Chain A
Amino acid sequence: MTSIWAVARHMIAEAIRMKIALFFICLLALLIFGLPFVARGDGTVSGAVQAFMTYALTAVSFLLALLTLFMSRSLSDELVNRQILILMAKPLPRWQFMFGKWLGIVVFDVVLLVIAGAGICGMVRYIAASEPARDELDRQKLDGEVLTARHRVEAEVPGDMFKRVAETEFERRREEGLYADITDLNPDRVKEDLRRQVEADWRSIVPLTYRVLQFDNVLCDRRADRTIQIRYKAVATRSPPDEIIRSRWVIGDPEKVAPVVVLRRDVHDRFHTFSVRADAVAEDRTLTIRLDNVNPYADDPAYPREPPNTVYSLPVIRLDEKAGVEVLFAVGTFEGNVVRVLALILFKLMFLAALGLLATSVFSFPVACMVSLTVYVLAGARGFIAEALLYLGDEGAVQVFQIVFGLVLRVVLFVIPDFPRYDAVDVLVDGRNVTLLWVLQGFGRLAVIQTGVLLLLACLLFHRREVSEVSI
């Protein structure tokens, strides 16, 4: 351990005195402390904070990734400048040398991340305090939807019910002889079609009807002075003429709590969030929401041009699969959330440090740099690669090429980590909680398994390598 730490200390000393590291650190400082005066967002204080956080954290992640890859040049330099000859003549096992290098890079990254994180948190608080809010809603949005860590609970979709109804319908139709003349009937396929149809019906709320949504495990603070948030996307099957969707929300199960009624007029195809008292959640931590597709303003003299409550004048409200209704409530602090986001960034850096050392233990620095950067870009575009694989044809004259290309893509997908999966910046900016489970998954997969494999490979290759170049 003494030797590993000695090498790590040396790596940190080298990193501090590297001009390229100094350049990156200056660039980081410039971004963190300069961005607030450039990134103004949508003109609101919450928008300014969100824009700053998005740019600053993305820049920190990107710049530190590049710096980490460049720091692996240290090993390449030691090989080229032959300091390695003296080092390997000492009682220093090669694996300890490699691990020490990696540890040094990671510790340096941790220090920079901590400084960057503190700077970002400080600047966020500075913007929040110094920027004038556009209105009270703006201030509320900043405190309740941005500078917080909210847990999200999605509505329970009654999948079993869809299946049951589909099977019942299938049996009814078969008994009525609807499938009698179909010789190659595939019951499973028909049932699946029926199930989808039932689900689509459930997700569509036709005018003058309602849908009841059930939420379980709403583990929020239920005190009356606390709030929970309802977030949903106002979508209709066809766009209303005035682009407004009207609705009435009854929040809370009347048999368990005193429900809260909320009347809404929301712009079509946008996300909307509103708050209600937290005591709408029942003691058993369930929350029932009834969404009425009616126009509560139809008879309101304050809104003279509102469409009447008829089947023909109101649109069909649709509950999207991915953007349905969700309940949000605070479970942590903004700063805690930042720490978890930085931890996820650190796991990527740990992987990149091992990748850089592996590459430089095999190739010269320019080649190693290209290899590392390619892997970094591929890891960032892993989702795109996976999607491209779906559209890869297997017909025509270039079939062989496509098969080979497909095979290469599959290997890439297997080897390259999924960086976007551990990108939590959007979640942080949205004021949602970056869960500890997510962080632990990132630690296990990225920092332990994938990084460990790369380090092991680097140690093996370096162990077999003759560290002295040809010299006669």
Chain B
Amino acid sequence: MTGKNIPVLQTVGLTKVFKDFWRRDKVEAVKNLNLEIYRGEVFGLLGPNGSGKSTAIKMLLGLLYPTRGQIAVFGRAPTDVAIKARIGFLPEESYLYRFLNARETLDYYGRLFHLPARVRRERIEKLLDMVGLRHEARRRLGEYSKGMARRIGLAQALINDPDFLILDEPTAGMDPIGTRQIKDLIRQLGDRGKTILLSSHLLADVEDVCDRVVILYGGHQRAAGRVRELLSQEDRTQIITQKLGPQTIERIRDLIRRDEAKDVLDVSSPAQKLETIFLQIVEEAQAANIATSGARAAGATPDFLGTGDAGEDVVTELIEAAQTPPTPEPEEPAPVVPAKAAPADDVIEELVAEAAPTDPALTGSPDEEPDATPRKQVGADRGVIDSLLTDDKETNSSD
């Protein structure tokens, strides 16, 4: 296996059983979880509350020890302190120090990464700008709202410009603006080559930003695959145009009935998302400089959050230049198809042509073909992990 193909994260048969005081098995929180996440992927860990998402993440970080199975992060054991310099972690709640202010908090975590003072100062200011809390940086975190604390939690996860970002319920407690900002950030970081593991039970979050997902229930891996494939309804076709008159609609119905021998199931005007209206109102208020003690408009994603690789800027530029969004953004207006008065058949043909599948290379994981079926699970090579961990045992120092 070449270095390029080494997964950022690989688990084989990962199992965690919590025991009671008498060492009897109490709960099997994670059962036989096999994951492979590659560089540049935004990977979703989806599941309802108590499905084992957080437990799995804590094992990946060495905060819990697996009962069975193996984990390799950057090819090393998760307890290896050295790999943690490349990881950013946002836990499911913002477990921050109430007696510190935002700057002190970020400075403390920056020191743990041995960042020089100048770099720390620069990054802290940029991150505070990014999360829109620079004006509240001197307030103690104990006085912050949950959403504001969440933003600082996110900032601390990025202080080291991590290669691998683990976000556990990142939008929990966030208002729609914050949720949108975080989703935008995840997309931007993904575009910059960061590997992101996103855990959530909010389906919209995962749907909007993830390339691939695993769905957990009761600690078991129930489904895995690319988001588009999991969501696509192969037996349905959707056409969105500018508003049509009833006669045109009737002609389309007739055409479909005649050519395809199928009925049109539903014709309606698409409703605007509440999120879109809400964001529009807030943006107007921010533009009018209406005072708030909460988070303000978030700034740009700091430029230091790169991949850390040589030639990164070139890659970023190329991506941005040729970028086609990997997933359609639902809050943006639907693509406008030029309306033609007649003939109606041409309209349909053009629309059908527009709806052709997107090139999988733009949305899939870097090194593998799209899964054949939505429920196909990601295979994992136990031998690879074994060899990685065996090699590392000789050179790695554990904490």
Contact = CB atoms under 8 A, between A and B. Distances in A.
A20 to B, nearest CB: 13
B65 A466 contact: yes
A436 interface: no
A94 B61 CA distance: 14
> Counting chain B CB atoms within 10 Å of each CB, which of A6, A9, A85 scores highest?
A85
A3 B97 CA distance: 17
Interface string A443-472: 000000000000000000001001110111
A83 interface: yes
A472 B29 contact: yes
B52 interface: yes
A463 B99 CA distance: 27
B281 interface: no
Nearest to A100: B112
B95 A466 contact: no
B96 to A, nearest CB: 7
Contacts of B113: 90-91
A9 B52 CA distance: 36
B18 to A, nearest CB: 5
A92 interface: yes
A89 B95 contact: no
A3 B111 contact: yes
Given A83-B96, A88-B62, A467-B63, A94 B399 contact: yes
Contacts of B108: 6, 9-10
A89 B61 contact: yes
A87 interface: yes
A85 B58 contact: yes
Interface in A184-198: none
B81 A86 contact: no
Interface string A76-117: 000001111111111111110000000000000000000000
Contacts, number: 90
A90 B95 contact: no
Given A95-B399, A466-B65, A468-B64, A89 B52 contact: no
A77 B85 CA distance: 25
A217 interface: no
A467 B62 CA distance: 9
Interface string B80-123: 01101101010101011101100010001101111000000000
A14 interface: yes
B27 A91 contact: no
A362 to B, nearest CB: 15
Contacts of B112: 3, 6, 87, 90-92
B50 interface: yes
A9 B93 CA distance: 25
B151 to A, nearest CB: 15
B156 interface: yes
A17 interface: yes
Contact of A91 (B50, B58, B84, B95): B84
Contacts of B166: 89
A86 B55 contact: no
Contacts of A2: 111, 114
A403 interface: no
A13 interface: yes
Interface residues of A, number: 30
A83 B99 contact: no
Contacts of A82: 91, 93, 95
B91 A86 contact: yes
A468 B55 CA distance: 9
> Counting chain B CB atoms within 10 Å of each CB, which of A10, A81, A82, A83 scores highest?
A10
Given A82-B91, A89-B89, A468 B96 contact: no
Contacts of A95: 399
B158 to A, nearest CB: 13
A17 B281 CA distance: 41
B55 A472 contact: yes
B109 A93 contact: no
B111 A466 contact: no
A214 to B, nearest CB: 63
Contacts of A14: 97, 99
B55 A89 contact: no
B27 A472 contact: yes
Given A13-B104, A91-B112, A472-B27, A83 B82 contact: no
A95 B82 CA distance: 15
Interface string A1-25: 0110010011001100100000000
B347 to A, nearest CB: 53
B109 A90 contact: yes
Given A92-B81, A466-B65, A472-B18, A86 B114 contact: no
A14 B100 CA distance: 8
B11 interface: no
B152 to A, nearest CB: 11
B54 interface: yes
Contacts of B100: 13
Given A3-B114, A83-B97, A468 B84 contact: no
Nearest to B104: A13
A11 to B, nearest CB: 11
A466 B64 contact: yes
Nearest to B399: A93
Contact of A89 (B87, B99, B111, B114): B87
B341 to A, nearest CB: 60
B63 A466 contact: yes
A463 B95 contact: no
5 contacts: A3-B112, A89-B63, A91-B114, A471-B54, A472-B55
Given A93-B81, A466-B65, A472-B219, 20 more contacts: A2-B111, A2-B114, A3-B111, A6-B112, A10-B108, A82-B91, A82-B93, A82-B95, A86-B96, A86-B109, A88-B61, A89-B87, A89-B89, A90-B112, A91-B113, A92-B81, A92-B399, A93-B399, A95-B399, A472-B52
Interface of B: 18, 26-27, 29, 50, 52, 54-55, 58, 61-65, 81-82, 84-85, 87, 89, 91, 93, 95-97, 99-100, 104, 108-109, 111-114, 153, 156, 166, 219, 399
Interface of A: 2-3, 6, 9-10, 13-14, 17, 81-95, 463, 466-468, 470-472
